[in-house]
Amino acid sequence: MASLITFASPISRALLFPSKLTACSLDSSPDSKNLAVSRNGSAFRPVIASAVTNSSQIQFPSETESAKVSAVPILSCSEAIERLRTFREVYGSNQQFLAMYSSIFGGITTDPTAMVIPMDDHMVHRGHGVFDTAAILDGYLYELDQHIDRFLRSAAMAKIKPPFDRESIRSILIQTVSASKCKTGSLRYWLSPGPGDFQLSPAGCLQSSFYAIVIEGQSPPSFKGVKVVTSSVPIKPPQFASVKSVNYLPNALSKMEAEENDAFVGIWLDEDGYIAEGPSMNVAFVSKEKELLMPQFDKILCGCTAKRILTLALGLVKEGKLKGIRLGNLTVEEGKEAVEMMLVGSGILVCPVVQWDDQVIGDGNEGPVTRALYNLVLEDMKSGPPTVRVPVPY
């Protein structure tokens, strides 16, 4: 069992996942069968698992076969945890979760089986929660402080009081990455009103909860042109679009719609028809006059990477590769007539767009300014100033 690194917990309770699991008082039926779940590609499908949990005993129905359940067992605590472990082993994942911090058990675990949160957490059943992220490259956290600042602004707008002060949050995040031993990947963290009940109001929650997880990643994303489409999914109102909350249903539906149309993502327009943003990234353009154009942040999420791009782009203005930088309302016509278009975000850095709907952008190739900005961000991640690079003590 992986070790659990403990901190002082804001909630006085025993650890949910001790190093040695002990059975609870409930009994389980050895003859019953249980409906479990397995993942095939991006879709989940049911499986039948016997009460004696063993990966060799998991039976997968065919794509056209429906699972049948004759009885549902009552499991002991240890049996439930073991089934969860087997589920992890059987269905696999295209991502590796290396470490998780939870204020519920007041420590860090490196065992993916223990990386869970309570069902009665209001982030789970009411979508009341905020989150943020930071990239990890070569053992450094990129723009950690900028992301934490936005995280705390989102928390204030969501009326969630963190269980720790800013410095403690920062320290926990760095220690979680250190425990993961991850040198390249991403750090994600969440804040919720916490567990307590299944009511709408968080008044019954004992204390807010803070979670963080480290996800192993590959090398920085490749520089390759993509297609985007105009999203038909309504954009969030500005009050909610400007908060990085866990309510990502519109974002997920927009992404799915794009994939159904053989595109990378959808582009949102605001209520006035101006270009807004993508489902998890900002968007920018290079005009025929060599201006870098970006929608203003008053109605959308203020992207940390987008703001950094605006700073780095000043160097291209000095070099004469750009004539200026402008934030403001941008029409769809302006966007589609641009010589370059790009998506900007911490997960993709700077991604060139070569087609929007049926309109080819520029000459249909990745643009030179987009490439220059991609290289500048990558260089900034590798050798930028201490204000954007935080070393992780492994």
Q: Catalytic residues, which ones?
A: 244
Give the whole-angstrom CA distance, residue 338 versus residue 176.
Answer: 43
Query: 187-201 b/e with 16+ CB inside 10 Å = b?
Result: bbbbbbbbbbeeeee
**Residue 188, SS3?**
strand
Could you tell me the two tokens for 388?
A: 């954007």
172 with 101: CB under 8 angstroms?
Answer: yes
Q: Please, are residues 35 and 142 in contact by the beta-carbon 8 Å criterion?
A: no
Contact 173, 187 (CB under 8 A): yes
Question: Rounded CA gap, 374 and 221, in Å?
Answer: 10
Torsion angles phi and psi, residue 31, rounded to 5: -100, -10
CB distance 276 to 268 below 8 Å:
yes
Q: Rounded to 5 degrees, what angle do the CA atoms 356, 362, 369 make? A: 105
Q: Where are the beta strands (DSSP E) in the chain?
A: 4-6, 33-40, 43-50, 97-102, 107-109, 130-137, 140-142, 185-192, 209-216, 226-230, 265-267, 282-286, 291-295, 324-328, 340-345, 349-356, 359-360, 389-391
3-state secondary structure 279-303: CCCEEEEECCCCEEEEECCCCCCCC
Q: Tokens representing 98?
A: 């290396």
The secondary structure of residue 184, as a DSSP letter, is: S
